[in-house]
Amino acid sequence: MVNIDVRKLISFGKGSYILSVPKSWIEKNNLKKGDLISVNDEGFELTLSANQQEKKPDFKEISIDSKNKDIEMLKAEIVSSYLNGYDTINILFGNDNKEAPKIKDIIRNLSGLEIMEQTSTRIMAKNLININEISIGNLVRRMDIITRAMMEDAILCCRGNCNYDSIHNRDIDVNRLYFLGYRVIKNAMKNPRIAKSLGTEPWQLHSDTMMILRIERIADRQKRIARYLCTASLDRQTLAELDKVHTDISEAYNEVMKSYYNNDKQISIQTEVTNRDRTMACDKFLEKYTTTHANTKSKTANSNLVAVAKIIENLKATAVEVRNVARTVLCYE
């Protein structure tokens, strides 16, 4: 192994060679004029690698002006800045700002982002997490554990034992983990040194992105299912049938996550093949319920029909995401 200056001629033994390094590779590895790269002579080929010495990280800072912006717009800008890797986020506002408590809640829901300073005109938040120490695999497992619990509790809603507030709060936890995972993966994709420290590669990062996205969507669907079950006044038979449909989808989710952890493609293939049965069960239930209650004309009946339609919509979406998890497993080598 020998170190060379990217500006200079390379000399090995009696021969000299001009080094031509792609500009995109230099930029991707944040190399500058005078930086060293490593050359490994394997006889029939030379392998180049960026010098892996520790470099002082570049800290990114952004200021967001809250003037004439509602809380949803501010939330979008703050979350976007977090996902794009900003280490310090300043939110600027006037003395009469009444959104400060809501802004603080948004910041608290972003893992690693802590409020370091608050004045009458500014809230300053800083990221305190070292992404090189984050395990994406552990993030996936934590999201999975919370989502399983949400599915179980959403099923309990069909059995008259619903705690929607608990499900809603756990959905926030899943979102927090999703945002952190997205931030880590994006940084690893842009910086090969981070990817190497995490022991991962581009295709694995792509698969991880798909996994955290699928799980986050499944968790979000459970929250919506629970909300509609809590607001509707459904009879016991309807709840029992919804219970069965939801339980089947939940069991499929448990199986496909088992295939993910064990890289068992046979389970994933089975999940893919049987997914149509689960979505058809949703369609049949909705058709039956609509036909049975078609002639019932009352405000409550109409409200229940809308709720059931929404519940089935979210159950089908859950089944589709379970299938997508299976496809992610099947595409990973």
pLDDT over 50 at 273, yes or no: yes
State in words which class domain 133-331 has. Answer: mainly alpha
Burial 59-84 (b: 16+ CB within 10 A, else e): eeebebebeeeeeeebbebbbebbee
Contacts of 2 (CB under 8 A, 6+ apart): 38, 39, 41
pLDDT tens profile 77-93? 999 999 999 999 999 98
pLDDT for position 43 = 58
Average pLDDT, stretch 19-46? 65
Asked if the model's pLDDT at residue 111 lies above 70, the reply is yes
Average pLDDT of the chain, as a whole number:
86
Q: Does domain 61-129 have CATH number 3.30.110?
A: yes
Q: Where do the structural domains in the chain lie, given as residue ranges?
A: 2-50, 61-129, 133-331
**pLDDT tens digits for range 203-220:** 899 999 999 999 999 999
The answer to whether the 61-129 and 133-331 domains have the same CATH topology is: no
- Percent share of the chain, pLDDT over 90: 61
* pLDDT tens, position by position, 130-184: 888 899 999 999 999 999 999 999 999 988 888 899 999 999 999 999 999 999 9
What count of residues does the chain have?
333
pLDDT digits (tens, 9 = 90+) for 294-324: 777 778 888 899 999 999 999 999 999 999 9
Burial of 138 (0-12, 13-18, 19+ CB in 10 A): exposed
Count of other CB atoms within 10 angstroms of residue 155: 22
- Sequence letter at residue 28: K
- The predicted pLDDT at position 262 comes to 94
Contact 317, 246 (CB under 8 A): no
Question: Is 80 exceeded by the pLDDT of residue 23?
Answer: no
Task: Produce one character per residue of 257-293: b if its CB has 16 or more CB atoms within 10 Å, e if not.
Answer: bebbeeeeeebbebbbeebeebbebbeebbeebeeeb
As a whole number of angstroms, the distance between CA 137 and CA 199 comes to 11
